[in-house]
Amino acid sequence: MRRTTVLRSCLSAALLLSTVAAGAATQASAAPAPTAADRAAASPGLITAMQRDLGLSEAQATARLKAETKARTVERAAERAAGGSYGGSWFEAKSGKLVVAITDDARRTAVQATGARVTLVEHSERQLDAAMARIDRLDAPSGVSGWHVDAKSSSVVVGVVSAQKDDNDVQAFVARAREAGPVTVTETAKAPRTFAAGTVGGDPYYTGNVRCSIGFSVYGGFVTAGHCGQPSASVRGWDGSYIGNFQGSSFPDNDYAWVNVGSGWWTVPVVLGWGTVSDQLVRGSGEAPVGASVCRSGSTTHWHCGTVLAKNETVNYSQGAVHQMTKTSVCAEPGDSGGSFISGDQAQGVTSGGWGNCSSGGETWHQPINEILNRYGLTLHTA
């Protein structure tokens, strides 16, 4: 392939990271200076982006990544220790610890033994998931932006667009949702939308006249957003050359797809830094808890960082609802769809949609990577 195409094409086959809006909670200011081992475990570019977008020092960003890595391990052990009492969990940036909600205080000692902090709540995650499933069966009007299980409030949080909160259909939906289980209503500035775009410049992939961002490399291809193309649709790279075809695609209900790679293109376990930060190696797909930092890269807005706000959210796009999404404080813009979300060196998911932009801020949802891999029987390409 042409120009510095050897590097650029190979990197184009890896997913792009996305931006999380600033304003996330920061670590305590007295974070210890990072050791050589700490620095080696994190990409300099990732640290730089976290400093810029989360207002952290180098030491704070390094300490936070280290604490979040530990929290992923603690989360699995704590859920087992809590048993049926488990009410969900989230990462608390201020303390650097995972907080675990339980409904039975008799489980407190066992959960604390895993290294987690414990708080008592009214409803278990199983109860909240059941309420979520009942709400998923309702038809939502356009004034409802989405809903998700929230461990902190021990409820299902339903988001309504501020300008439409008094709409009769919105009010009727909220009333039916409350009948399904514990519900908390919040307001959002705008309704979510997908982030596909018409063909413009950049380092994207194209299908028809749609531009999206390439997803995480898997063996044999890459994953991306389902709304970017239908099965068998042809895909062209940033230089216009043929890459492959959509082998599977689902949207709405889900928002994921995968594309095979050939014709001189190949896959690498890398997320592009776009010359702003160093490229990031992908080493796994351990899921970050709510409250953890996350970064995104896309062909329009490139690198940004922020935090995970919620998991298992149903997002109500105009094309239909998409389930089991992860909500972040990330901005994104048209053309970023399909790009990668990453936490530390762990792949998180592919960009689906959101609201706002990267000048004024906003929120963005991603489809979790492990669900995509399991659905299509794919293996993530890791370093």
Residue 72: pLDDT band (50, 70, 90) is: very high
Say whether pLDDT at 129 is over 80. Answer: yes
249 is catalytic: no
Sign of torsion over alpha carbons 63, 57, 328, 14: negative
Angstrom distance (rounded) from CA 101 to CA 333: 35
Structure tokens at 107: 């489980």
Residue 262: pLDDT band (50, 70, 90) is: confident
Contact 14, 268 (CB under 8 A): yes
Residue 264: pLDDT band (50, 70, 90) is: confident
Angstrom distance (rounded) from CA 191 to CA 276: 30
Percentage of the chain lying above the pLDDT 70 cut: 86
Percentage of the chain lying above the pLDDT 90 cut: 73
Angstrom distance (rounded) from CA 7 to CA 340: 19
Contact 325, 227 (CB under 8 A): no
Residue 107: pLDDT band (50, 70, 90) is: very high
pTM above 0.75, yes or no: yes
Among the listed residues 13, 15, 7, the one whose alpha carbon sits nearest the alpha carbon of residue 295: 15
Set 148, 227, 302, 323: catalytic member: 227
Contact 291, 308 (CB under 8 A): yes
pLDDT at 265: 86
Angstrom distance (rounded) from CA 303 to CA 308: 16
**CA angle, 64 as apex, 270 and 105 as ends, to 5°?**
120
337 is catalytic: yes
DSSP-derived secondary structure for 38-74: HHHHS-HHHHHHHHHHH---HHHHHHHHHHHHHHHHH
pLDDT at 266: 86
Mean pLDDT of the chain: 87
Set 9, 18, 293, 337: catalytic member: 337
255 is catalytic: yes
Determine the average pLDDT of the residues in 266-281.
79
Set 150, 203, 255, 279: catalytic member: 255
Say whether pLDDT at 38 is over 90. Answer: no
Determine the average pLDDT of the residues in 105-120.
98
Determine the average pLDDT of the residues in 348-370.
95
Structure tokens at 201: 């410049």
Structure tokens at 243: 């890459």
**CA angle, 285 as apex, 280 and 286 as ends, to 5°?**
115
| Distance separating the N- and C-terminal Cα atoms of the chain | 24
pLDDT at 277: 65
Residue 263: pLDDT band (50, 70, 90) is: confident
pLDDT at 203: 61
